[in-house]
């Protein structure tokens, strides 16, 4: 099943130029020397040298671990720079297999394919030989001991009968054939004991039992890739679980928001006269505020319009699609593509996992440039020095008192198990800004813009806990298995969800990834028994957690739903790769 699944997953056609003709061929048919065309979103299948293109940037994090977008320079331009004596340190003509094209279009010449490519070498290095399970190893040793005992008993019996046979030959009047037949009977008895004593079918019986278990698990939508995982999971003592899509449904909906002095909640959760429903709030939004909201939600987004069962839907990050549904249902967003076409988008800043935010630059009708940023609310609030009145968009300095009010609102949303997303902006008279730092490629450094921002508002997004999760956690804990939650959400949201799932209990420890990373090995070992929730964590944090738990003698199971969880899944004793989620 896995062979068919992998073959189907890997099979795709790519556009190449070969012998002067451009055609679509399978990635399995690519040869060194082919000219391969690449576009945004493509996964590079082979190694090569960049030939020609326009502003091509690649994400090589899967191969190098670096999340920066790498700008590609044509090989001819690099050679020209080298020949002329110009510095070429920052010029990169190499295209690495496994990388993803982020932007730009171009072509490159294939130089290494298959197991000779960098991605192929990585895949060859992580191949594992089929190993016996712990139970199979124990049964193998037991079978060998029984075999030695049976062989010893057979040998003793053979020699006893043989001595008895030889001792009686002097008075034996039987014919030679009868004597030979008697000797063969002795030999057969000894061989029979050996055959009966050696339990050669014992390890095979375990294999068949595990194979039967995998078949039964397949009926429950669990596809077992490594047979020994069935047995190992039965001995698990710790589970490190992701939140989004694993403990929760990953069906996100905007249910609350605060903009200036106005706020709204979902109609089903309005619990005071002060709270407005989303519809009542949206009907009073001014044109200027609505324009800024559309820019923050629709323009500053990587989601797009698609179809599901013949109905139009938004495709992309669940957080972004929840915001787009809000804009569509209440802010008059009709067509996402038309809205983007009607705006002059100057630059897009992809999601920065370190800053937990993303941004876009839009040129305004008055000639100014507006940077809109959305992301983790408490982080964006720390970058803000002003706040905007929602009705007029007039900005004024953000006092410590008002900052505390916003912080309390964020915490209140988080304590209701809501994911909080902040919206901020900043207007510039020119682009690039005069005080902005530039990257080595000449583009504006996103991090240098994250200061003196104007806080515009925040929304609370609900991601309900999956039915049955609290009961499943209770059963695991009753069986002696410690369940820990590892998530990228902030501490308050993580604690609220963990409490709802019965993971967080009184006396447990909740920690954020940056603090977790700074601990020494001794401090980690002392703290881990009480750790129940790890918030604002990175994939490396999860890997460190799994590694230390294993070092303490725990049998660790990990759930993951993306390639970023691969290090932890690989490090764990048992890895659960979730089909749905982020």
Q: Establish how many alpha carbons lie within 13 A of residue 539's alpha carbon, considering only the half-sphere containing its beta carbon.
A: 18
List per-residue pLDDT tens for the chain, 582 residues long.
Answer: 556 666 666 678 888 998 888 888 888 899 999 999 988 888 899 999 999 887 788 888 766 655 567 888 889 888 888 888 877 767 889 998 888 888 778 899 999 998 888 888 777 765 656 666 667 678 778 888 888 999 999 999 999 999 988 888 877 778 888 888 988 999 999 999 988 887 777 777 777 888 888 888 888 777 787 777 777 788 889 999 888 778 888 788 888 888 877 777 765 554 444 457 888 888 888 888 888 888 899 888 878 787 777 788 887 778 888 899 988 888 888 888 888 888 898 888 877 767 788 899 999 999 999 999 999 899 999 999 998 888 788 888 989 999 999 999 999 998 888 889 999 999 999 998 888 888 766 778 888 899 999 998 899 998 888 888 999 999 999 999 999 999 888 888 889 899 989 999 888 999 998 899 889 999 999 999 999 999 888 878 888 999 999 999 899 999 876 666 777 888 888 888 775 433
Are 438 and 432 a contacting pair, CB within 8 Å? yes
Q: What is the pLDDT of residue 477?
A: 92
Length of the chain in terms of residues written = 582
Dihedral of the CA atoms 459, 462, 463, 464 (nearest 10)?
170
Q: Which domains does the chain have, with CATH numbers?
A: 13-125 (2.70.150.10), 132-233 (no CATH), 235-247+466-577 (3.40.50.1000), 253-462 (3.40.1110.10)
Q: What is the pLDDT of residue 7?
A: 67
Facing residues of 444 across strands? Answer: 438
Q: Establish how many alpha carbons lie within 13 A of residue 315's alpha carbon, considering only the half-sphere containing its beta carbon.
A: 8
Q: Which two tokens stand for residue 548?
A: 């230390």
Q: What is the DSSP letter of 504?
A: -
Q: What is the pLDDT of residue 270?
A: 46
Q: What is the pLDDT of residue 272?
A: 46
Are 35 and 28 a contacting pair, CB within 8 Å? no
d(CA 124, CA 130): 15
Candidates 239, 340, 279; CA nearest to 558 is: 239
d(CA 30, CA 16): 8
How does strand 418-428 pair with strand 369-376? Answer: antiparallel
Active site residue 242: yes
Point out the catalytic residue in the list 242, 463, 489, 541: 242
Q: Count CB-CB contacts under 10 A for residue 258.
A: 22
């Amino acid at each position: 099943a896995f062979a068919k699944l992998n073959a189907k997953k890997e099979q795709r056609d790519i556009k190449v130029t070969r012998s002067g003709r451009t055609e679509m061929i399978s990635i399995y048919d690519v040869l060194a020397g082919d000219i391969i065309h690449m576009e945004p979103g493509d996964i590079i299948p082979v190694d090569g040298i960049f030939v020609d293109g326009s502003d091509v940037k690649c994400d090589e994090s899967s191969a190098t671990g670096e999340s920066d977008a790498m700008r590609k320079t044509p090989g001819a331009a690099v050679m020209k720079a080298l020949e002329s004596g110009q510095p070429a340190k920052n010029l990169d003509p190499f295209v690495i297999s496994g990388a993803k094209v982020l932007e730009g279009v171009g072509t490159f010449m294939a130089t290494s394919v298959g197991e000779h490519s960098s991605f192929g070498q990585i895949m060859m290095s992580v191949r594992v030989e089929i190993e016996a399970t712990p139970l199979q190893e124990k049964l193998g040793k037991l079978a060998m001991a029984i075999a030695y005992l049976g062989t010893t008993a057979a040998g003793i019996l053979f020699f006893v009968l043989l001595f008895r046979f030889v001792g009686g030959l002097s008075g034996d009047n039987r014919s030679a054939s009868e004597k030979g037949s008697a000797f063969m009977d002795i030999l057969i008895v000894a061989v029979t004991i050996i055959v009966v004593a050696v339990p050669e079918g014992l390890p095979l019986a375990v294999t068949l039992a595990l194979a039967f278990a995998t078949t039964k698990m397949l009926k429950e939508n669990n596809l077992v890739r490594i047979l020994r995982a069935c047995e190992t999971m039965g001995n698990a003592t710790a589970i490190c679980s992701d939140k989004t899509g694993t403990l929760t449904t990953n069906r996100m909906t905007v249910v609350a928001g605060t903009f200036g002095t106005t706020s709204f909640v979902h109609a089903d959760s309005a619990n005071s006269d002060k709270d407005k429903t989303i519809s009542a709030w949206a009907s009073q939004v001014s044109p200027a505020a609505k324009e800024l909201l559309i820019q923050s939600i629709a323009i500053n987004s990587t989601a797009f319009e698609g179809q599901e069962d013949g109905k139009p839907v938004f495709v992309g990050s669940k957080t972004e699609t929840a915001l787009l549904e809000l804009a569509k249902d209440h802010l008059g967003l009709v067509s996402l593509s038309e809205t983007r076409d009607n705006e002059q988008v100057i630059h897009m800043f992809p999601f920065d996992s370190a800053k937990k935010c993303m941004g876009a630059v839009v040129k305004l009708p008055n000639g100014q440039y507006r940077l809109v940023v959305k992301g983790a609310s408490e982080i964006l609030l720390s970058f803000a020095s002003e706040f905007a009145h929602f009705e007029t968009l007039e900005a004024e300095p953000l006092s410590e008192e008002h900052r505390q009010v916003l912080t309390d609102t964020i915490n209140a949303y988080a304590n209701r198990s809501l994911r909080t997303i902040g919206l901020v902006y900043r207007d510039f008279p020119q682009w690039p800004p005069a005080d902005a730092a530039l990257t080595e490629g000449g583009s504006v450094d996103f991090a240098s813009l994250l200061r003196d921002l104007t806080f515009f508002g925040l929304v609370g997004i609900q991601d309900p806990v999956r039915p049955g999760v609290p009961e499943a956690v209770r059963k695991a804990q009753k069986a002696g298995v410690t369940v820990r939650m590892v998530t990228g959400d902030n501490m308050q949201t993580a604690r609220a969800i963990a409490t709802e799932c019965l993971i967080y209990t009184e006396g447990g420890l909740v920690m954020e990834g940056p603090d977790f990373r700074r601990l020494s090995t001794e401090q980690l070992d002392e703290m881990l028994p009480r750790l129940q929730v790890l918030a604002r964590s990175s994939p490396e944090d999860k890997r460190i957690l799994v590694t230390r738990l294993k070092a303490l003698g725990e049998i660790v199971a990990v759930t993951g739903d993306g390639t970023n969880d691969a290090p932890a899944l690989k490090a764990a004793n048992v890895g659960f790769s979730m089909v749905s989620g982020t």
